[in-house]
Amino acid sequence: MKESTFMPILDENFEVFYWSKQYQSHDWGRKPDKTSENYSEIEPLFRLHSHDSMEVLVFLGGKCEFYCEGQMYSLTKGDVVIIPPYAVHKAEVSDFDNYERIVTTISESLLAEFLSISPSMSDSIIYHKTLGSYVVHPHSEHLKEILSLFQEISNRIKGNRDPYSFALHYLLFRAFEIILNPASSKPTSSLSSLSSDADQRLHSIIEYIEKHLTDSQLNLDNISSHFHLNKYYFSHYFKNHMKVPFYRYVLLKRLATAVALIKQNEFSIEEIATKCGFQDYSSFYRLFKKEYNLSPKNLQKELRV
């Protein structure tokens, strides 16, 4: 099955994409070239997108501004970006020649297992969510340990050992324990910090969207009315702070939810369209194919192989 780099399809529980001057585990770490055969797969990585797995990016070098759920960060070497499932995000890279990073995607099921083993890890996720910060900077000794663990994972995968063995799961678990432990790092401030009142309003809007995401009546008219705002003001306010229009933000999250349901293989595509808040199957089909360059039914067939 051909995997989409834009929408990670986790046949197993996790994937690691390593890009450094010493080793590249894939071919999409360089600047997207419109003439290349896989441009359509690479380019979406560098625009706003969302997917159903948790993602962790360890930034090793270059120049990159990272956007996640309305927050913008200018990354420095050693920063670790923690991207929750379904979060809308993108990396804006201006120095591809020196761009180095490790990206790990981990399925919700494996993450749930990790959290069940380590209650403190679960508390840490809540802590980071409460802070509203998606980037941390590990202390030097902890960063060395994180890099050592990922290097061992990379070596084992390069050595053609079982990439989903207990040993690799344990190494990944240890890396996540360090990354998510508040004592191991300090939060990195966003470049787009809001005043406390504006921050609370935006937080309330995001919470409302999460709660009503699958409601087909979630639209600009209704949400602006709920918050007693003019819809044109609301539209401008949302795009200004979230760096993405309201409609597209909701669409990306709904499509990522649809992907998760397709993977579960418990509902028909038509049922999934309804469950994800789309008013009709034809619009769901069109938007899904436009976003992922793959129809929902073809994805379902590929996942069953």
- Looking at every residue in the chain, the average pLDDT score rounds to 83
DSSP calls for 162-193: -TTSHHHHHHHHHHHHHHH-GGGEEEPPPTTP
Examine the fold and report which residue of 169, 187, 205 is the final residue of a domain before the chain moves on: 187
Instruction: Please indicate, yes or no, whether residues 162 and 253 belong to a single structural domain of this protein.
Output: no
Q: Is 214 part of a structural domain of the chain?
A: yes
CATH number at residue 111: 2.60.120
Q: What mean pLDDT comes out for the span 107-129?
A: 82
Q: What mean pLDDT comes out for the span 259-276?
A: 92
| 89, 66 contact by CB (below 8 A) | yes
Instruction: Please indicate, yes or no, whether residues 22 and 85 belong to a single structural domain of this protein.
Output: yes
Q: Is 176 part of a structural domain of the chain?
A: yes
Query: If pLDDT is split at 50, 70 and 90, which confidence band does 251 have?
Result: very high
Residue 31 CA to chain centroid, in angstroms? 20
Is it the case that residue 265 has pLDDT exceeding 60?
yes
Highest-confidence range of 8-12, 48-52, 164-168, 226-230, by mean pLDDT? 226-230
Is it the case that residue 163 has pLDDT exceeding 60?
no
d(CA 256, CA 250): 10
Q: Domain limits at 27?
A: 14-187
Total domain count for the chain? 2
DSSP calls for 217-270: T-SHHHHHHHTT--HHHHHHHHHHHHSS-HHHHHHHHHHHHHHHHHHHT-S-HH
Reported as a single tens digit per residue, the pLDDT across 33-82 is 555 544 345 455 667 888 888 899 999 999 999 988 888 899 999 999 99
User: According to the model, what pLDDT value does residue 300 have?
Assistant: 86
Q: Is 179 part of a structural domain of the chain?
A: yes
Q: Is 55 part of a structural domain of the chain?
A: yes
Determine the 3-state secondary structure of 90 from DSSP. strand
Examine the fold and report which residue of 162, 187, 212 is the final residue of a domain before the chain moves on: 187
Instruction: Please indicate, yes or no, whether residues 159 and 266 belong to a single structural domain of this protein.
Output: no
CATH number at residue 231: 1.10.10.60
Instruction: Please indicate, yes or no, whether residues 152 and 296 belong to a single structural domain of this protein.
Output: no
CA 48 → CA 33, 70, 142, 220, 251, distances in Å? 18, 11, 30, 20, 11
Instruction: Please indicate, yes or no, whether residues 202 and 181 belong to a single structural domain of this protein.
Output: no
Examine the fold and report which residue of 133, 164, 187 is the final residue of a domain before the chain moves on: 187
Please, which residues bridge with residue 7 across strands? Answer: none
Quick one: which of 81, 42, 87 has its CA closest to 256?
A: 87
Residue 24 DSSP symbol: B
d(CA 166, CA 185): 27
Q: Is 9 part of a structural domain of the chain?
A: no
Instruction: Please indicate, yes or no, whether residues 176 and 214 belong to a single structural domain of this protein.
Output: no
pTM: 0.79
Q: Is 219 part of a structural domain of the chain?
A: yes
CA 5 → CA 15, 46, 264, distances in Å? 11, 11, 20
Reported as a single tens digit per residue, the pLDDT across 203-223 is 889 989 999 999 989 999 999
Lowest mean pLDDT among 88-92, 126-130, 177-181: 126-130
Helix (H) or strand (E) holding 60: strand 54-61
Q: How many CA atoms lie within 13 A of 249 on its CB side?
A: 24
Q: Is 241 part of a structural domain of the chain?
A: yes
Instruction: Please indicate, yes or no, whether residues 180 and 38 belong to a single structural domain of this protein.
Output: yes
Please, which residues bridge with residue 17 across strands? Answer: 103
| 52, 85 contact by CB (below 8 A) | yes
